[in-house]
Amino acid sequence: RMGNPTVKALERQIAVLEHGYDSIAFSSGMAAVSTVYMALLNSNEHMISSAAVYGASRVMMEQHLSRFGVQSSYVNTADLNEIKAAIKPNTKMIYIETPANPTMDITDIQACAEIAHSIGAVLVVDNTFCSPYLQNPIDLGADVVLHSVTKFINGHADIVGGIVISKTKELNDKIKGMMFNLGGNMDPHQAYMVIRGVKTLAIRIERAQENAMKVAKFLENHPKIEWIKYPGLDSFAQKDLVAKQMKGTGTMISFGLKGGLEAGRSLMNNVKMCILAVSLGGIETLIQHPASMTHSKMT
C-alpha cells in the first residue's frame, strides 16, 4: 500500500499525461471513486453530481456514504442552472462525467470549475470516457481527475484498475492518506500491464475514433434509426463545447431505434459484427442496450 517502484512509474506517467501534480493508482475505478469521496467529503457535507454518472458511483454515495451523513444531489450537469439551483451552504464537491453515459451530454468543465471554486468546493471529473488523450480537465480548472483504468488507459480488457490525478500536493496527500488506510491500492503486476497499455493509447484512440465516425455516419443515414448522438456529427447539439474542451470527438456512440425497446432487444440478439458486452475502451467493438442492461432499473 505504501508504494512500489512499478506502480510509481505508472503514477508519474499518468500525472504527466493529465497535467497534474501527481497521481495515485488503485485496484479498480470504484476504489478510486470511493477513496476520493471519503478523502474529500465529511459528515454533513454535500456534493452535486451528474445524474448520468456511472451507476456504482451513485450507489456508493446514496446507499453507503449517506449512512455516514454525506449528502448528495443528482442533476443534469450539462445545464449549469441545474447545478447552481442544487448548491447548498455545505456543498463541498461537484462531481461530473463528460461525455455522460449513455446520453452523451457534454458538461462544461471550465464553467463547473468556476462555480465550484466560487463556493469553496472542489471539482472532480471522471475522465474515463475520454482518457487523457482526448481531454485534460485540470487544464480547464478541475481539481481532481479520475479514471477507470480498466477502460482506455489499459486498453486491452485484461486488467481492472483506477487512477486519481490531483492538481495540488495538498489534494494528492489527502487522497493518498485515505488510500493507505482503505487499502484499495494497485498491485505491481497490474501497473506493469497498464504501462504496456499506455504505450499505444494514442494509436488506439485515433483508430477507434476514425472507426466511430464511419459507424456514426452509416447509422445516421439508416432508415431504422430514430436518433443518434455522436460528438463528431454535424447534428450533435453541443459541437461548440466539444471543440472547446475535447481534443477529438471520442469513440462512444449513442443511438435509438424506430420501434423502441423491442427493436433494441432484437438488434442485440441479431447483431453480428460487435460483441454484446458492457465495457468500453478496449480494442474490440462492443454494443449494449442500456434500457434492458446497464440502465434497466431506470426505465
- Span 65-84, contacts to ligand PLP by CB under 6 A: none
CB of 26 to ligand PLP, least distance (A): 8
CB of 54 to ligand PLP, least distance (A): 4
Region of 25-33, 132-140, 221-229, 258-266 interacting with ligand PLP (CB under 6 A): 25-33
| Contact yes or no for 149/128 (Cβ under 8 A) | no
DSSP state letter for 99: S
Catalytic residue (one of 22, 105, 108, 126): 126
Residue whose C-alpha cell reads 460487435 in the numeric block: 274
In the three-class reduction of DSSP (H, G, I as helix; E, B as strand; rest coil), residue 96 is classed as strand
Output the CA angle 260-266-270, nearest 5 degrees. Answer: 145
Catalytic residue (one of 92, 151, 204, 229): 151
Q: Is 245 near ligand PLP (CB under 6 A)?
A: no
The reply to whether 54 belongs to the active site is yes
| CA-closest candidate to residue 132, choices 199, 202, 30, 186 | 202
CB of 119 to ligand PLP, least distance (A): 25
- Span 142-171, contacts to ligand PLP by CB under 6 A: 148, 150, 160, 162
Strands 254-257 and 225-229: what pairing?
antiparallel
The reply to whether 151 belongs to the active site is yes
Distance CA 85, CA 103 (A): 22
Binding residues (CB under 6 A) for ligand PLP: these are 28-30, 33, 54, 97, 126, 128, 148, 150, 160, 162
Mind telling me the catalytic residues? 1, 54, 126, 151
